[in-house]
Amino acid sequence: MTQTIENPTIILPKESDKLIKESFKKKKSKKRVNNKKTIKHHNLNWLNEI
Amino acid sequence: MRYKLFPLSELLNFTSKSQIKKLLKTFHCDKNKDLESFLHNKAVLFEEKGRSRTYLYVDTNTKETVAYFTISISSLYVEEFSKETITILYGQENIKLKCLPCYLIGQLGKSDTCDKKIGKILLKQALKTIIKGYYLFNGRFVLLDAINNEKIISFYEENGFIPIENLDENKEIIKMIYWLI
């Protein structure tokens, strides 16, 4: 929404306090974008040679 | 594929602003006038002022904007939240915090002329772009404005978002969260 982009700060209602806590518990059961596939990782084999 | 993704910033570097505005005006969305109006009137300005980044899906046959998303960095006001919630949002205890940085998906949607089911691709692309930022700068969560409609909320839920406002009928917009950690 344009208003949310325009405002420098997002203000949520009080009810969000409880819902944020619940969302954090629920997050593991949610289907999410695979972070590992999104980013090209460095070759770190040299670490084993230290 | 007929539809190709372009960052608005790249298009602005390549050609004139008037040419870009013509391309943006090809986007129409009667169901969500805010989505249309932002692209027509604010997207270029916000790009130039460093407020947000917009990415366009363009139909390479018709040269029309068929879908887009806008992402930005925002801050969430947390002063009135409980200690426990601030700890969850911040990652460690800190009672003095007033605001926390977050990523924001400010706009996301397709044009009336787009006949393809592009929503999932669009959302995935927006998240992939944010995840690149997450790897570079870190961060803990993404916020999104969802239209308070059962179908739309379910779509976002299927893709990892969770509502953080009660689904009250009187509300036009519901904020949703996506945890990056």
A17-48 pLDDT tens trace: 999 999 999 887 766 777 667 777 778 788 78
Residues of A in contact with B70 (CB under 8 A): 5
Parse chain B into domains and list their residue ranges. 3-179
Spans of chain B below 50 pLDDT: none
**Residue A45 DSSP label:** G
* Comparison of pLDDT for B138 and A8, the residue scoring more: B138
Whether residues B42 and A5 touch (CB distance < 8 A) is answered with yes
- pTM for the full model? 0.92
The residue in chain A having the minimum alpha-carbon distance to the alpha carbon of residue B135 is A39
pLDDT the model gives residue B83: 94
Instruction: Note the ipTM here.
Output: 0.88
CB–CB contact A10 B75 (8 Å): yes
Fold category of B3-179 in CATH? Aminopeptidase (3.40.630)
pLDDT in tens, B59-108: 989 999 999 999 999 999 999 999 999 999 999 988 789 999 999 999 99
Distance of residue B93 Cα from the nearest chain A Cα, in angstroms: 14
pLDDT for the residue B169: 87
